[in-house]
């Protein structure tokens, strides 16, 4: 059973990550696991668990994983197994987990304990050893419809498997954990008190590497130090204030989703930050339609989130030291923002990659927000930051465009050619912003609470942006995007979509310029990669939905690049598509 279970878990985990639960309430098996256990993997319904696991492994074409699932699933037909019951795996220590198997106990649902154990060659009495597939495991009757199994005899002997832990688990995972349990096929609950020290040790090494990389990039030492200290404060605050880490996964014919969450200790700064929810979907509905590369919306109107973002922006402002520009002040006067990066006619190499970008900002006072934008643009004029000279312009008088007063703005950024990386930056500016060599466009009031910003001075683009902000945009009505939206959080504070097909169509001509044509047919419509963040009651979670057709496109692209040779892959003919 140990080998079979390991294979089944590996199938679901796919990339080596442990997975678990699916149920509307805390599963019965979880009630029998102490709430202070370092890591708990909980399965709300064993049959449903394997349905999801098989679907995910099938989408990813993981044949070995599917084989493990099939073997494990065959045990569900054994006499005495409760296939529709809940199960749990309690990992009792994570010390040296990378080098040796941790002490663990598996709670398996049964209708007849004796039938299960005697069917496997045991007596059904007391704690006993079973020989399963050539490996020794230990089993005992945990009572109340559960068998307790462990690869370590002493671990099992010391595990009471007593009930009464549901309330503690519910308090620890909070509203976020309960929602993740409802909306995912599997869930893992990690006690952050046990993970805090390893997390901080890993960050200490990461901080050193970050400083070295920033220094190699030519960043000033004081700026590098300030930015690392800012991130260090966030990491340490997170480690101290996090109560339970959470991970969920679901899958089906559409693809699969992965969700990471955390519930914070009551009364902490992070808990207050994520006390409220949001409605980023409404903001996404204000963006214009058309082909796009990337789109996002973020609602930071809740008191806690706005305070945290303002503080973070102020810290970043101090670390970056850009005179005149104050993101913190801007956030204070805004409640949310949505932005879509459309497909530029010039493509990747034709110049102006960002000139098809439109943003809408939600605020209590549109006129005040535009006024603040004007002040900051003027304050940044003639400033020099890290060797980059900034020249900005803002037309206060405005001009009539599509029945609204639109203000032209522009920002030129000219690098000091004696500085490292100056040549690369000078070449990059036209690629991003076209012949103007820097960001420019319009900012206009759509209505009392919405401001639109374009990265182009084309009047038809601004008109479309204003109409979308006031009457609703076409982007959110895209059928593939709507399908993905249904798989994301219902009340997100953030939404994001990435159109992998559009990106591939943009990249392929550039690759062809340097390495020759790529033998790849990109479907006319590719389901976007979708992401969302939800928060509430002191917790938050981040979900990513990966569609099957995007996975297929990625595999086909890998095979096509590998077949090209000449630097795009090992070369020399068609090769087998890599495993996802």
Note whether 8 and 129 are same-domain residues. Answer: yes
280, 373: one domain: yes
Domain co-membership, 141 together with 277: no
Range(s) of the domain holding residue 292: 266-564
Report yes or no on 542 lying in a domain: yes
Would you say 239 and 199 are in contact if contact means Cβ atoms under 8 Å apart? yes
Sign of the Cα torsion 89, 164, 82, 151 reads positive
Give dist(CA 316, CA 236) in Å, integer. Answer: 17
Residue reference for tokens 């030492």: 221
Let me know if residue 257 belongs to a domain: no
The answer to whether the beta carbons of residues 262 and 176 sit under 8 Å apart is yes
Domain end marker among 158, 193, 228: 193
Per residue in 430-451, pLDDT (tens digit) is 788 887 778 999 999 999 999 9
Phi, psi of 554 (to 5 degrees): -60, -40
243-278, pLDDT tens digit by residue?
A: 999 999 888 889 999 999 999 999 999 999 999 999
297 shares its domain with 431: yes
The reply to whether 173 falls in a domain is: yes
Cα separation, 159 vs 92, in Å, equals 10
Compute the average pLDDT of residues 482-507: 95
CA distance 467 to 461: 10
Q: Are residues 282 and 169 in the same domain?
A: no
Q: Tell whether 468 and 335 lie within a shared domain.
A: yes
Q: Are residues 482 and 382 in the same domain?
A: yes
- At residue 247, the 3 state secondary structure works out as strand
Q: Which two tokens stand for residue 500?
A: 């992998």
Helix (H, G, I), strand (E, B) or coil at 87: strand
How many domains does the structure of the chain reveal? Answer: 2
Quick check: helix, strand or coil at residue 163?
coil
Residue 359 exposed, middle or buried by CB count within 10 Å (0-12, 13-18, 19+): buried
Per DSSP, which regions of 173-313 are E strands? 186-191, 242-252, 255-264, 292-299
Residue 515 placed within a domain: yes
Same domain, 158 and 285: no
pLDDT in tens, 357-412: 999 999 999 999 999 999 989 988 988 877 788 899 999 999 998 789 999 999 98
How would residue 60 be classed by pLDDT, with cut points 50, 70 and 90? Answer: confident
Residues in the chain: 580
Of the candidates 483, 485, 470, 562, the residue with the CA atom closest to the CA atom of residue 520: 562
Contact 414, 404 (CB under 8 A): no
161 and 309 within one domain: no
Reported confidence tier of residue 580, pLDDT bands at 50, 70, 90: very low
241 domain-assigned: no
Q: State in Å, rounded, how far the first CA of the chain is from the last one.
A: 28
Residues 300 and 174 in one domain: no
Cα–Cα distance between 214 and 207 in angstroms, integer?
A: 11
Give the residue among 255, 244, 259 at the shortest CA–CA distance from 532. Answer: 259
Gap between the Cα atoms of 72 and 57, Å rounded: 14
**Residue 212's CB: how many other CB atoms inside 10 A?**
11
The DSSP secondary structure of 457-472, one letter per residue, reads: --HHHHHHHHHHHHH-
3 state SS of 184: coil
pLDDT band at 350 (very low <50, low <70, confident <90, very high): low
User: E strands, 424-554, where?
Assistant: 440-447, 450-454, 494-498, 529-536, 539-547
Identify whether 456 is part of a domain: yes
Domain presence at residue 198 = no
Q: Are residues 182 and 278 in the same domain?
A: no
Q: Computed over its alpha carbons, how large is the radius of gyration of the chain? A: 28
d(CA 556, CA 578): 9
pLDDT-based confidence at residue 13 (cuts at 50, 70, 90): very low
Look at residues 193, 220, 254 and tell me which one is the last residue of a structural domain.
193
* 168 and 295 share one domain: no
* Helical axes 46-59 vs 63-74, angle rounded to 10°: 160
Residue 552 CB contacts under 8 Å (≥ 6 apart), including other chains: none
- Tell me the per-residue pLDDT of 131-186, one tens digit each, with 9 for 90 and over: 887 889 999 999 999 999 999 999 999 998 888 999 999 999 999 998 988 788 77
Look at residue 204 and tell me if it is in a domain.
Answer: no
Q: Indicate the pLDDT class of residue 578, thresholds 50, 70 and 90.
A: very low
Query: Cβ neighbours of residue 155 under 8 Å, at least 6 residues apart?
Result: 92, 103, 104, 105
Q: How far apart are CA 41 and CA 184, in angstroms?
A: 13
């Amino acid at each position: 059973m140990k080998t079979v279970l390991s294979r089944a878990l590996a199938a679901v985990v796919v990339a080596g990550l442990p997975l678990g639960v699916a149920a509307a309430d805390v599963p019965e098996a979880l009630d029998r696991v102490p709430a202070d256990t370092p890591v708990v993997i909980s399965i709300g319904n064993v049959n449903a668990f394997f349905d999801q696991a098989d679907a995910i492994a099938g989408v990813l074409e993981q044949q070995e994983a599917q084989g493990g699932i099939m073997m494990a699933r065959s045990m569900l037909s054994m006499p005495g197994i409760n296939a529709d019951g809940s199960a749990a795996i309690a990992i009792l220590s994570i010390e040296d987990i990378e080098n040796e198997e941790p002490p663990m106990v598996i709670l398996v649902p049964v209708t007849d304990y004796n039938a299960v154990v005697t069917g496997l060659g045991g007596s059904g009495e007391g704690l006993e050893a079973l020989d399963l597939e050539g490996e020794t495991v230990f089993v005992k009757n945990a009572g109340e419809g559960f068998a307790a199994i462990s690869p370590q005899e002493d671990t099992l002997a010391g595990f009471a498997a007593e009930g009464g832990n549901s309330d503690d688990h519910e308090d620890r995972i909070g509203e976020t954990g309960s929602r993740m349990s409802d909306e995912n096929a599997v869930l893992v609950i990690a006690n952050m008190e046990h993970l805090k020290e390893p997390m901080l040790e890993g960050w200490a090494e990461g901080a050193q590497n970050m400083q070295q990389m920033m220094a190699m990039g030519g960043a000033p030492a004081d700026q590098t130090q300030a930015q690392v200290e800012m991130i260090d404060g966030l990491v340490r605050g997170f480690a101290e204030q996090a109560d339970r880490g959470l991970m969920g996964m679901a899958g089906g014919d559409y693809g699969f989703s992965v969700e990471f969450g955390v519930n914070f200790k009551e009364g902490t700064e992070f808990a207050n930050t994520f006390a409220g929810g949001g409605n980023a979907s409404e903001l996404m509905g204000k963006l214009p339609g058309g082909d796009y590369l990337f789109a996002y919306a973020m609602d930071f109107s809740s008191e806690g989130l706005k305070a945290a973002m303002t503080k973070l922006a102020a810290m970043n402002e101090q670390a970056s030291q850009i005179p005149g520009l104050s993101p913190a002040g801007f956030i204070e006067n805004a409640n949310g923002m949505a932005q879509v990066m459309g497909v530029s006619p010039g493509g990747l190499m034709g110049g102006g990659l960002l000139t098809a970008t439109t943003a809408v900002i939600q605020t209590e006072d549109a006129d005040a927000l535009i006024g603040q934008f004007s002040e900051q643009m003027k304050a940044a004029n003639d400033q020099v930051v890290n060797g980059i000279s900034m020249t900005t312009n803002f037309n206060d008088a405005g001009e009539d465009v599509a029945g609204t007063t639109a203000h032209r703005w522009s920002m030129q950024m000219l690098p000091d050619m004696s500085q490292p990386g100056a040549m690369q930056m000078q070449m990059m500016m036209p690629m991003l912003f076209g012949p103007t060599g820097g960001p420019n466009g319009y900012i206009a009031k759509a209505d009392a609470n919405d401001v639109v910003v374009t990265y182009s001075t084309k009047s038809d683009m601004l008109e479309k942006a204003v109409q979308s902000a006031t009457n609703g945009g076409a982007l959110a009505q895209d059928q593939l995007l709507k399908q993905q939206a249904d798989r994301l959080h219902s009340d997100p504070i953030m939404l994001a979509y990435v159109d992998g097909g559009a990106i591939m169509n943009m990249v392929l001509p550039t690759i062809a310029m340097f390495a020759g044509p790529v033998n790849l047919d990109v479907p006319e419509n590719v389901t976007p990669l979708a992401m969302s963040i939800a928060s509430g009651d002191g917790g938050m979670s981040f979900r990513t939905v990966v569609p099957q057709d995007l996975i297929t496109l990625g595999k086909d692209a890998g095979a096509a690049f590998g077949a090209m040779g000449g630097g795009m892959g090992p070369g020399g003919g068609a090769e087998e598509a890599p495993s996802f």
